[in-house]
Amino acid sequence: MTGKLDGKRIAILATDGVEEVELTEPRRAVTDEGAITEIVSLSDGEIQAMKGDLQPTNTYPVDRVASAASASDYDALLMPGGTVNADRLRMSPEVRSFVTDMFNSGKPVGAICHAPWTLVEADLVRGRTLTSYPSLRTDIRNAGGNVVDEEVVNDKGLVSSRNPDDLPAFCAKIVEEFAEGKHRVHHEGATS
């Protein structure tokens, strides 16, 4: 039996403070369809996952550091949330560069909850429609993005959701988009 994502390599961008269920549920969804996942983080070792930003849960081994990650190594990017996770990631020039390269190569990206903060910091939401955790919506609008309050939004391969309650819809949509593969590169004002 073959999966929709057989042979696809998915980068999961996460660090300490990642919301565990936003890491594990989408990871399971893509691996159940045959994808290979790698956790890309700020440094080697393990990352500490959390529940609701406050309760430590499990740790997960890092497969590659962002400074050594290349868009050419992956078919898609998964960005789980968690307030601390997203805040740390968005401050890293190597993370912003990696995410920008993924976007510029037209690879699909799934971002849930607080993850769009990194997209805002990398100036990647301008002209895009997406959703997020409510506290990020002003940041997204100020960065030129169009914010909607929906369970899951897909804008030319950028899949976004609001919070863990949206995981069933988010997981289904990332599998679909990751299977579809590369999209035409989006630039402000361009249509694709």
The answer as to whether 183 is a domain residue is: no
114 is catalytic: yes
Per the structure, the count of domains in the chain is 1
The answer as to whether 184 is a domain residue is: no
Is residue 147 within a helix (H) or strand (E), and if so which, with residue range? strand 146-147
The answer as to whether 1 is a domain residue is: no
pTM: 0.94
Q: Quick: pLDDT tens for 13-33.
A: 999 999 999 999 999 999 999
183 is catalytic: no
Catalytic residue among 114, 171, 183, 186: 114
Length of the chain: 192
CATH of the domain at 152: 3.40.50.880
Q: What angle do CA 151, 127, 81 make, to 5 degrees?
A: 40
Q: Quick: pLDDT tens for 131-175.
A: 999 999 999 999 999 999 999 999 999 999 999 999 999 999 999
Give me the domain span that covers residue 156.
9-178
The answer as to whether 86 is a domain residue is: yes
Instruction: Answer whether 175's CB lies under 8 Å from 30's CB.
Output: yes
The answer as to whether 188 is a domain residue is: no
The answer as to whether 4 is a domain residue is: no
The answer as to whether 186 is a domain residue is: no
